[in-house]
Amino acid sequence: MRREILLAAPFAVALAGAAAAQSAAAPASETAHIAAMAREHAHDAPVANASAQEPRQEVRTDDVVYGTVGGQPARGYMAWPTATRRGEQLPAIILVHEWWGLNDNMKMMARRLAGEGYRALAIDMYGREATTAEEARTSMQQVASNPTRGAQHMREAAAFLRGRQRAPRLGVIGWCFGGGWSLQSALFMPENVDAAVMYYGRVVTDRFTLSSLDAPLLGLFGEQDRGIAVSQVREMEAVLRELGKSVEIQVYPGAAHAFANPSGSAYNAAAAEDAWTRTTGFFARHLRGS
């Protein structure tokens, strides 16, 4: 089937060509997107959160190995409610990090989602936490040069949560770099994804590609985002509605790229709080049936 052998456009690299892709450069369109993200983060730094946002209930955390990618252990950070009973099956959510990698901000988001009653697994596609803009750009470029490996991270995380953790339903969420991968995962493994949330991630407008989407999608974007054009966001929304897909798009006036990152210079508290409310409500409806 097409959805099993191809990553959705605009990544557009055949999974069957994985061996060759390992040494290939990223496609020109992807390189341009990475450059746009670099411009958006030009004045940012991976600083510690000025005001950590605590989960609604006590949670437990652990560093886990969720699979093997490229012959190496795939490591992540998992959180779940402390009150979880032995053997209790909880819906689960995969978190895909932003430009800076799996840092303290992403771990905080995992704890917050766990506080909503989920097993939350924050994966690490970079294999390191970026401490400079150049490191972040290099790491993102490396993933773009071999999207097969990125797709394997998503599949391994899904198998870990569906299999070993026995999650009855599975959601994905990502910010920036991760926002694009959240959408991609819903497109190339629809059998595993029950709900997808993308925060200012790279959009897809190709009708044929979007026809693979089975999961409901929530997209959250900033009107002033210079890297993700609102016109493309609206085009994706229109195509999905024409295809009869379940899609909710919110564009926040005055908000820039990375508006939901409390450790970044573009943080917009009003937009971030509204987006979080929409996110938790969306997952509650589609993963918990409430």
Radius of gyration of the chain (CA): 17
pLDDT of residue 48: 63
Domains along the sequence of the chain with CATH: 2-288 (3.40.50.1820)
Confidence check: pLDDT of 100 > 90: yes
User: Is 87 in contact with 164 (CB distance < 8 Å)?
Assistant: no
Strands 217-222 and 247-252: parallel
Query: Mean pLDDT for the chain?
Result: 90
Question: 38 with 137: CB under 8 angstroms?
Answer: yes
Task: Tell me the pTM.
Answer: 0.91
In this prediction, residue 249 carries a pLDDT of: 98
Task: Say whether pLDDT at 1 is over 60.
Answer: no
pLDDT value of position 12: 45
pLDDT in the model for residue 20: 37
Q: pLDDT band at 21, cuts 50/70/90? A: very low
Instruction: Please give the positions annotated as active site.
Output: 176, 225, 257
What is the distance between the alpha carbons of residues 174 and 183, in angstroms, rounded to a whole number? 9
The answer for residues whose C-beta is within 8 angstroms of residue 263's C-beta and 6 or more apart is 46, 47, 48, 49, 50, 104, 105
Summarize pLDDT for 224-256 with one digit per residue, the tens: 999 999 999 999 999 999 999 999 999 999 999
Say if residue 4's pLDDT is above 90. Answer: no
Taking 90 as the threshold, does the pLDDT of residue 46 lie above it? Answer: no
Q: What percent of the chain has pLDDT over 90?
A: 77
User: Which of 162, 168, 181, 166 is CA-nearest to residue 123?
Assistant: 181
**Block residue for tokens 């926040």:** 252
Mean pLDDT of 38-56: 77
Q: What's the rounded mean pLDDT across residues 45-61?
A: 81
Under 8 Å between Cβ of 177 and 142: no
> Does the pLDDT at position 42 exceed 90?
no
Round to whole Å and give the CA distance between 215 and 251. 20
Question: Which residue, among 238, 231, 177, has the nearest Cα to 202 in the 3D structure?
Answer: 177
